[in-house]
Amino acid sequence: MKYAFVNGVILDGTKDMEPLRGKALLTDGRKIAGITGNLPDLSGYDVIDLKGRYIMPGLINMHVHLAGNGGNGKPQKQKDYKRVVDRLFSNPLTAAAVHKMVADYAKIELFSGVTTIRTVGGLRDLDTRVRDEISSGKRLGPRILAANEGISVPGGHMAGSVAVAAHSIDEALAQVDIARSQNVDLIKLMITGGVMDAVKKGAPGQLKMSTEMVKAVCDKAHSCGLRVAAHVESQEGMKVALSSGVDSIEHGAKPDEETIRLFKKTGASLTTTLSPALPYALFDRPVSGATEIQQYNGRIVFEGIRDMARAAVKYDIPVCLGNDVGCPWITQYDFWRELVYFHKYVDVTRRDVLYLATLRAATLAGIGDLTGSIEEGKEADLIVTEGSPLEDLHVLGNVRMVMAGGKLIRAPKIHRKAAIDARLDPFC
Ligand SMILES: [Zn+2]
């Protein structure tokens, strides 16, 4: 189906985007066929009158776990994840149910205006399977860049759930081979712990993986043409990651001069995720359910992520946004909040935030020639909002239309979680 969007305001996703009025945006079934001022003959097109609404590239959520959607809002206790996951996949019925759940969550991302996601820790090989089902047209969903299971260490972050625990460098390298056989798009490492793993005050993001293991995995991944994204929540962890060849730091921590120097030297990028730390840092404890230690560490992590993001902007380190959905309090339809937080806490303009969440992210993900901006020949990945996101990012929380690879969803409906939304709204 060919579409002509008329009477809208176009934001093209580029760094200096200015509202473009009086033009028609044409799509040819899959791609953007053109932006034209002189209306051509529109016979053969389904004409969509935007009535002054805004149209821009679909958002790109660079840090997604497809195994959760809002959780119960309470922090999870460390448990024997591996046993739970093994049991789920040992029974074909429960395995099929989990597969469907993951695919449904991906669809929620799309319906909320996110047309590309990068998954960084999933259950078995479900992320690549759902990716392929979507790209072959069997399912509706966003474009997926998938890491499948991450690589962690025994007792490390997410070990047993969305990451495997490697007991040795050989085991870590064997997992890279497994990931390659699943045709992943990137490799994910869990180098440090997280907020919930820490048992002591002031110890979130403790280094768990050896420098040797990080380096061995990076070397092998790079030799196969795969980039490495690493979960890191401490300064020490960032130094290990950056000096060992990691391509992107996920989350981050308070930087020092050495960290900035390493970022600049290696060209590595940062994926900022304010969403997962915010509830532990800023909610009252009876609401978040966090212990005093978790709240204390949550604040360290939140401020560290914020400060690293500010430094990235200041020193021109490549940065993009992810919301780490899968963590408690974060839903698959809430990526827009990360943009609001970034604008508010990192203190950058709305225009810059929109760029970071569209063309900048696409470029950093290696798909900048495919998507991320409104340009002739690119995939038709588009969203329509009621007002201008340049004036109010909240309009992204309720997109009116979504187009993914030329397929139009005219009135995307999302089942929202009112209790979670009510807790987060005061911070947006
Ligand atoms: Zn994560």
Cα–ligand 1 centroid distance for 253 (angstroms): 14
Cα–ligand 1 centroid distance for 73 (angstroms): 16
Cα–ligand 1 centroid distance for 33 (angstroms): 36
pLDDT at 70: 85
**pLDDT class for 41, splitting at 50, 70, 90?**
confident
Cα–ligand 1 centroid distance for 45 (angstroms): 42
Q: Tell me: pLDDT of 21 over 80.
A: yes
Tokens standing for 44? Answer: 């053969």
Give the C-alpha separation, 10 to 22, whole Å: 9
Which residues in 197-216 are b (16+ Cβ under 10 Å) and which e? bbeeeeebbbbbbbeebbbb
Name the nearest CA neighbour of 146 among 192, 182, 109, 194: 182
pLDDT at 39: 74
Is 59-364 assigned to CATH 3.20.20.140? yes
Cα–ligand 1 centroid distance for 61 (angstroms): 12
pLDDT at 133: 98
pLDDT at 337: 98
Cα–ligand 1 centroid distance for 263 (angstroms): 20
Q: What is the pTM of this model?
A: 0.97
Cα–ligand 1 centroid distance for 300 (angstroms): 17
Tokens standing for 164? Answer: 């495997």
Q: Tell me: pLDDT of 258 over 60.
A: yes
Cα–ligand 1 centroid distance for 93 (angstroms): 27
Cα–ligand 1 centroid distance for 162 (angstroms): 9
Q: Strand 248-251 vs strand 227-232: parallel, antiparallel, or unpaired?
A: parallel
Cα–ligand 1 centroid distance for 145 (angstroms): 14
Neighbours of 248 (CB within 10 A): 26
Cα–ligand 1 centroid distance for 150 (angstroms): 10
Q: How far is CA 37 from the centre of its chain?
A: 35
pLDDT at 76: 57
Cα–ligand 1 centroid distance for 42 (angstroms): 45
* Side-by-side strand order, sheet with 59-64: 59-64, 114-119, 143-146
Cα–ligand 1 centroid distance for 273 (angstroms): 9
Q: Strand 150-152 vs strand 163-165: parallel, antiparallel, or unpaired?
A: parallel
**pLDDT class for 80, splitting at 50, 70, 90?**
confident
Tokens standing for 11? Answer: 């934001």
Cα–ligand 1 centroid distance for 211 (angstroms): 20
Cα–ligand 1 centroid distance for 279 (angstroms): 15
Cα–ligand 1 centroid distance for 67 (angstroms): 11
Where are the domains positioned within the chain? 3-57+372-427, 59-364
Cα–ligand 1 centroid distance for 47 (angstroms): 40
> What is the DSSP annotation of 395-421?
GGGG-SEEEETTEEESS------HHHH
Residue with tokens 């007792």: 155
**Mean pLDDT estimate for the chain:** 95
* 3-57+372-427: CATH topology: Urease, subunit C; domain 1 (2.30.40)
**pLDDT class for 252, splitting at 50, 70, 90?**
very high
**Percent with pLDDT over 90 in the chain:** 88
Give the C-alpha separation, 141 to 134, whole Å: 6
Least confident of 7-21, 109-123, 200-214, 258-272: 200-214
Average pLDDT over residues 377-406: 98
